[in-house]
Structure 1
Amino acid sequence: MKKLLALVLAALMMMSLAACAAQDAAAVADATAAPEATAATEEAAAGAIDMSAVKFIQDGVLSVGMEIGYPPFEDLAEDGTTPIGYDVDFAKALGEKLGVAVTFVNTAWDGIFQGIGVNYDCVISAVTITDERKESMLFSEPYISNYQAVVVRKDSPLKINSFLDLNGLAIAVQKETTSDILMSDYVSTGSINSTISANEKVPTCFTQLENGEVDVVVVDSSVADGYLASNPDKFVKAFQDESEPQEFGVAVAKDNTALQAAINQAITQLTAEGYFEESVAYWFGK
């Protein structure tokens, strides 16, 4: 009887040990599988971008419409021919992610959107994403946030606490930009009674300001930051409207959803890599 009891107890002990071994093996398997699953997810997020459905005007080349004359977003180097700037670097980074070459088509801002899908694949030129523009084109996810700012000469006595304080002043803006539209709305609605000088190029606005031809320049805050960093003894930012942040995106043709998706994936990867933080610090001194 004692021998039988001993045999039963031994059998139960062996079964318990087997069960524990099985649980340990399962735990090890789960612990191994979890990192592998996470790694697989991260690898997929940072993996090659699907370009199978993307069509370009020229095979293997992302052609970018750009108004080269809006520093520090887009400008020409000292040689007068080489594009440089925040948007230029961004376009090149997109090209690397998409695995294609990048070319720039210097285009006047007036009518730049009409060339999308005809003269170039997209527009990367400090383009504010708006509901009105979305009616005729697609946009990527935003790649930088922006505000409207008022810049004055460093020796100016003006105190600007809102756009209403621009009443009676001479204002310089770049033609058909968000700044132009905003100031024109203020004037047309009677909110202010001011003279607007709408220029083809933003450098002309700052030349007018420096020469005393206008009292203020209304411009994108990022552009203002760039000019202030380059000309700290000439200009200061008198006001920045942070009540309505604006976002810049890549504009593509309404039917080019494949390119939009590819660019969005590239932006996600560049964001994860810290690209934009480094580029903003370099070009805007932040």
Structure 2
Amino acid sequence: MTLDPALVKAFAPTGTLRASINLGNPILANRDPVSGQPFGVSIDLAQAFAGHLGTPLELVVFDTAGQSVEAVSDEHADFGFFAVDPKRGEKIAFTAPYVLIEGFYLVRDDSPIRTNAQVDDARNRVAVGKGSAYDLFLTRELKATEIVRAPSSPTVVQTFLEQNLEVAAGVKQQLEADAAKAGGLRLLDERFMVIRQAMGVPKSRGEQAAALLRAFVEAMKRSGWVADALARHGIQGASVASLE
């Protein structure tokens, strides 16, 4: 299908499509320890979308979700991969989600906290990644608990341990991996939220651009491409979102 050149230019005004990549979510993006190059489902999707538009691709890589969101909001990148959140939606037009990711709480083995409901207590402090979807969600939802913001999502458990906090919150798989390394930690039995991971474009690029990105995501889900990408990268605990 030949796309309207004006629509392609709306997405890539510099001639190169700039994708904002967040390495703070290890389910979707990581950096190869040998080559240093980013890889993962987000990168594969970015490459596929650039191919759809017929443009060169540039990866603009960040360590945190907050930085990645800011790059797209400020149009230093042309699109990105984010958890859907109303605050972020002020400047970014989101697609429907393509992947669902679970958020969990982590505590020490000897913690008296056994349920999610017990977390929201003035005696507790919760570590979250600064600017992450968990930060935004828990800032709205927790009424009594103090939120302590780690520099990034991958440093949440480190912050939790170093500051002797009561709870850590984040991506289930990241917490499980960190708990296995540290020992003496456990996840609570149920998730506290589901992250609706979507693609997004600055609202200033126009409704036609947003509609094109939404249609692309639906096509990738419908064709089985997203499921194949999760399997190809060995991702466990994330599921393909339903079609809109």
Same fold (TM over 0.5): yes
Q: Which runs of 5+ in 2 are unaligned?
A: 238-244
Partner residue in 2 for 1:87: 42
Distance 1:241 1:72, change over 3 A: closer
Query: Is 1:152 aligned to 2:107, yes or no?
Result: yes
Query: Is 1:278 aligned to 2:219, yes or no?
Result: no
Instruction: Work out the number of aligned pairs and report it.
Output: 227
Partner residue in 1 for 2:210: 260
- Paired residues of 1:69 and 1:76 also in contact (CA < 8 A): no
Q: 1:72 aligns with which of 22, 27, 44?
A: 27
Distance 1:49 1:285, change over 3 A: farther
Q: Say which SS state the counterpart of residue 203 (structure 2) adopts.
A: coil
Name the structure where strand makes up a greater proportion of residues: 2
- Paired residues of 2:102 and 2:172 also in contact (CA < 8 A): no
Distance 1:152 1:50, change over 3 A: farther
* Distance in structure 2 (CA, Å) of the matches to 1:230 and 1:184: 23
* Distance in structure 1 (CA, Å) of the matches to 2:23 and 2:157: 16
The CA deviation at 1:224 is 1.5
Q: 2:165 aligns with which of 187, 201, 214?
A: 214
- Paired residues of 2:98 and 2:217 also in contact (CA < 8 A): yes
Partner residue in 2 for 1:4: none
Partner residue in 2 for 1:142: 97
Distance 1:152 1:85, change over 3 A: farther
* Distance in structure 1 (CA, Å) of the matches to 2:114 and 2:35: 36
* Distance in structure 1 (CA, Å) of the matches to 2:45 and 2:186: 27
* Distance in structure 1 (CA, Å) of the matches to 2:169 and 2:101: 13
Distance 1:100 1:171, change over 3 A: same
The CA deviation at 1:239 is 4.1
Query: Is 1:54 aligned to 2:11, yes or no?
Result: no
- Paired residues of 1:226 and 1:285 also in contact (CA < 8 A): no
The CA deviation at 1:276 is 1.8
Q: Say which SS state the counterpart of residue 24 (structure 2) adopts.
A: coil
Q: Say which SS state the counterpart of residue 119 (structure 2) adopts.
A: helix
Aligned AA (2:201): V
Q: Which runs of 5+ in 1 are unaligned?
A: 1-47
Q: RMSD of the alignment, in Å? A: 3.0
Deviations 1:4-47 (A, max 9, x none): xxxxxxxxxxxxxxxxxxxxxxxxxxxxxxxxxxxxxxxxxxxx
The CA deviation at 1:245 is 4.0
* Distance in structure 2 (CA, Å) of the matches to 1:112 and 1:275: 24
Q: Give the alignment's TM-score, normalised by structure 2.
A: 0.75
Distance 1:92 1:218, change over 3 A: same
How much identity, in percent, do the aligned residues show?
16
Distance 1:120 1:149, change over 3 A: same
Aligned AA (1:115): A
Q: Give the alignment's TM-score, normalised by structure 1.
A: 0.66
Q: 2:56 aligns with which of 101, 113, 117?
A: 101
Q: Say which SS state the counterpart of residue 8 (structure 2) adopts.
A: coil
The CA deviation at 1:51 is 4.7
The CA deviation at 1:198 is 0.2
Partner residue in 1 for 2:176: 228
Distance 1:197 1:132, change over 3 A: closer
- Paired residues of 1:123 and 1:250 also in contact (CA < 8 A): yes
The CA deviation at 1:82 is 1.0
The CA deviation at 1:135 is 3.1
The CA deviation at 1:119 is 1.5
Q: Say which SS state the counterpart of residue 57 (structure 1) adopts.
A: coil
